[in-house]
Amino acid sequence: MLAYAFKAIAQGSRVLCSSSIEPRFFRMPSLQISFHLGTGRHQPRRQATDGTMSLGIKEHPDAEVQKNRVLTLDDWQDKWVTRHIAFHQEQGHQLLKKHFDTFLKGQSGLRVFFPLCGKAIEMKWFADRGHTVVGVEISEIGIREFFAEQNLSYTEEPLTEIAGAKVFKSSSGNISLYCCSIFDLPRANIGKFDRIWDRGALVAVNPGDRDRYADIILSLLRKGYHYLLVVLSYDPTKHTGPPFYVPDAELKKLFGTKCNMQCLEEVDALEERHKTWGVDYFFEKLYLLTEK
C-alpha cells in the first residue's frame, strides 16, 4: 500500500476535491503520510467514491500558531507605498477563470462584492459582463491604480457615514470602490450581494478578526447567493503570515452553520517566493459556499 501511495503522488497537482469539508489524508496503521506534490502534469491523484477527486491535503497540527499575529491598517497601506504587493495577480486568478460560468450560473445583472479588493482585474471581468461590482480596500493607491490600469474614468466623493473614507465610482456607474476598513463598511449601508469573490481577503484578515469578518460577509449575502472563497494550506510554523493558513475546521466554524460548503478544487500553488518563506508546500483550496 505504501508503494501505491508513492506511485499516486507522481500523478499531478491540480484536481477536483470532494465536497466534504473534513480533513483528508492517507491512513495506514500507526502511520500518516503527507506529501508535497510537484508542479508537473496536473492530473488527478486519487478518485473518491462520488467521482470527485482530492489531493488529500493534511491539516497542520499547529493551526493556531498564527492566532496572535496582527497587521494594522497602516501596515497594509505601507505595502502599497513600498510596492510589496506580490498578492496582486496581473492576469487574474486562474481558478476564477475556470469556474466563472459555474459561479455566475448564467444569471445577469448580479451584484458582486470584492472584499479587500486591491486593484483586482477580476472586477472588470464582472463589470464587462453587465454586473454591478462593489469593492472595499484600505489603500487609495490600489483603488486609483485599478481605474488607471483598466482605463476607466471615475469620480470620488467622501463618505459622510465614515470619517476619512471615500467612495470611487466608475463613470459607467457599475463599479464602486470604498476606501476604508472593511470593519467600518457596514455603516455605509452598501446593500446585499448575489455573489462574493474572496481570493485574498479571509486569508489576509488578522486571525483574531475572522469572526468579525465572517459576520460582515454573512450580513451582505442575498438569498440565493454564491460565495466563492480561496483559502491556503501550508506549514504555519514556517511563515507568520499574511497570507494566513486557514484550516478546514476554521472555515467550518466561521460559515458552517449558515452555509453549505463545497470544495471545488485543490491546487498545488507553490512558487519560488513561497519557498523563501521556508515552506515546502503551498496549496490553494477553492470553496463554493451557498445558502442552507
pLDDT digits (tens, 9 = 90+) for 102-160: 999 999 999 999 999 999 999 999 999 999 999 999 999 999 999 999 999 999 999 99
CA angle (168, 132, 257) in 5-degree steps: 105
Buried b (16+ CB within 10 A) or exposed e, 217-233: bbebbeeebbbbbbbbb
- Residue 243 reports pLDDT greater than 70: yes
| The CATH fold of domain 73-291 | Rossmann fold (3.40.50)
Could you read off the pLDDT of 182-198 as tens digits, one per residue?
A: 999 999 999 999 999 99
Which residues in the chain are classed under CATH 3.40.50.150? 73-291
Look-up: residue for cell 471615475? 154
Identify the band that residue 63 occupies on the pLDDT scale cut at 50, 70 and 90.
confident
3-state secondary structure 179-235: ECCCCCHHHHCCCCEEEEEECCCCCCCCHHHHHHHHHHHHHCEEEEEEEEEEEEECC
Which amino acid, one-letter code, is at 240?
A: T
Largest CA-CA distance found in the chain, in angstroms, rounded: 65
pLDDT surpassing 50 at residue 268: yes
Distance, CA of 36 to CA of 44 (rounded, Å): 14
In this predicted model, which residue has the larger pLDDT, 17 or 100?
100
Q: Note the pLDDT of residue 14.
A: 53
- Tell me the average pLDDT of the chain: 85
Flag whether pLDDT at 61 surpasses 90: no
pLDDT per residue as tens digits for the range 96-110: 999 999 999 999 999
Instruction: Single out the residue of 219, 217, 221, 212 nearest to residue 198, CA to CA.
Output: 217
Give me 64's grid cell: 493556531
Phi/psi at 263 (5° precision): -80, 115
